[in-house]
């Protein structure tokens, strides 16, 4: 299958499967798994944080960050479009007694500092305590500019707020900006990285932060049922994702540009080419095209898309230029019918 639905569909390569089969493991709840320990220590150092924690998913890593930064009755400021507000089942409120205070994202995905300032609550028992700002990069495939990140950091310091980065796809941002990852992450008190998206590991995300924050997060992870035992099997694949696959994101971005140009040239499909910055292409599909029918017809041809009027297509390790060419050929034929 050629699968454009998400970069989460990437499959572990042979090298990962070998490393998983041969990983030296132990019981990580006792701190005994050398492969987990090595990955956590190595990633912390690589990204300039004191400590790291291997988590089962990005949703869990974000929740642990929120629960470790915030107490019951605190709130975090985030975007209306933020994954950890909109797409994580309300976990912070449900499980952490933490109130989200969403703010409309600007067109470029950022949060306006003026709007953030207006949302910060005074120290008064009427209000939840504003504790944290959480932002996302990339957000819907868009990359936040570096100068925005430094002004956000200064803003957070001025207001004595902590700053969290949902960096599920932060390596896509670093790739698009052509900077070392530390240029982006130096501004944050904590961050997450998804290993199971474009980086191609089968399972897992990392949470990074201070030793104290990670100590808290490790405790909450156990409470939430995320204390995994011989997790080194997963971390062996994760290490390869972080060493071998980051450089390949460039190819995904190039393929996304190519896909965007090709699809934009077809009647009834429109892409804002200036907005294709990373591995995502957003396509406006004309009203006269029945997207559900189109998706079904493509599926018969071995191509998967998420059928939406404003359709997201994602490039990843499982999609090369010839896969895009096959898709475009099918799309031309099917959308004419």
Ligand X SMILES: *Cc1c(COP(=O)(O)O)cnc(C)c1O
Contacting residues toward ligand X, per CB under 6 A: 57-59, 62, 83, 136, 166, 168-169, 194, 196, 205
Report in angstroms how near the CB of residue 167 gets to ligand X at its nearest: 8
Report in angstroms how near the CB of residue 256 gets to ligand X at its nearest: 15
Report in angstroms how near the CB of residue 287 gets to ligand X at its nearest: 29
| CA–CA gap between residue 201 and residue 204 (Å, rounded) | 7
Nearer to ligand X, 171 or 269 (CB): 171
Nearer to ligand X, 166 or 330 (CB): 166
Nearer to ligand X, 173 or 298 (CB): 173
Indicate the length of the chain as a whole number: 337
Report in angstroms how near the CB of residue 83 gets to ligand X at its nearest: 3
Residues 285-320: b if buried by 16+ CB within 10 A, e if exposed: beeeeeeeebbebbeeeebbbebeeebbbbbbbebe
Report in angstroms how near the CB of residue 238 gets to ligand X at its nearest: 12
Contacts of 291 (CB under 8 A, 6+ apart): 285, 307, 308, 309, 311
Nearer to ligand X, 86 or 257 (CB): 86
Nearer to ligand X, 194 or 328 (CB): 194
- β-pairing, 129-136 vs 74-79, is parallel
Of the candidates 216, 219, 217, the one whose C-alpha atom is nearest the C-alpha of residue 206 is 217
Prior bond of 138 cis (ω within 30°): yes
- Torsion angle of alpha carbons 210, 215, 216, 220, nearest 10°? 130
Report in angstroms how near the CB of residue 321 gets to ligand X at its nearest: 25
Nearer to ligand X, 4 or 269 (CB): 4
The CB-nearest residue to ligand X is: 58
| CA–CA gap between residue 16 and residue 144 (Å, rounded) | 31
């Amino acid at each position: 299958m050629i699968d454009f639905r998400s970069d989460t569909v990437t499959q572990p390569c042979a090298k990962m499967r070998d490393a998983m089969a041969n990983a030296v493991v132990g019981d990580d709840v006792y701190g005994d798994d050398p492969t987990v320990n090595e990955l956590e220590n190595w990633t912390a150092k690589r990204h300039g944080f004191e400590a790291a924690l291997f988590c089962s998913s990005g949703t869990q890593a974000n929740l642990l960050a929120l629960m470790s930064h915030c107490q019951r009755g605190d709130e975090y400021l985030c975007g209306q479009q933020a994954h950890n507000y909109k797409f994580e089942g309300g976990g912070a409120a449900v499980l952490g007694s933490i109130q989200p205070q969403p703010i409309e994202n600007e067109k470029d995905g950022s949060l306006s500092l003026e709007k953030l300032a207006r949302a910060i609550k005074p120290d008064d028992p009427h209000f939840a305590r504003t504790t944290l700002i959480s932002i996302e990069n990339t957000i819907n495939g868009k990359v936040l500019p570096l100068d925005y990140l430094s002004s956000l950091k200064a803003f957070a310091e001025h207001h004595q707020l902590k700053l969290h980065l949902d960096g599920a796809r932060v390596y896509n941002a670093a790739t698009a900006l052509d900077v070392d990852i530390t240029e982006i992450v130096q501004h944050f008190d904590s961050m997450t990285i998804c290993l199971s998206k474009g980086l191609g590991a089968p399972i897992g995300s990392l949470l990074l932060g201070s030793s104290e924050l990670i100590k808290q997060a490790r405790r909450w992870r156990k409470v939430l049922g995320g204390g995994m035992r011989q997790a080194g099997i997963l971390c062996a694949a994760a290490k390869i994702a972080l060493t071998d696959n980051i450089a390949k994101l460039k190819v995904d971005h190039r393929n996304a540009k190519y896909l965007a140009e090709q699809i934009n040239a077809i009647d009834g499909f429109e892409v804002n080419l200036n907005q294709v910055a990373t591995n995502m292409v957003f396509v406006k599909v004309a009203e006269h095209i029945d997207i559900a029918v189109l998706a079904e017809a493509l599926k018969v041809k071995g191509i998967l898309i998420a059928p939406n009027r404003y359709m997201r297509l994602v490039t990843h390790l499982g999609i090369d230029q010839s896969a895009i060419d096959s898709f475009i050929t099918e799309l031309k034929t099917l959308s004419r019918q």
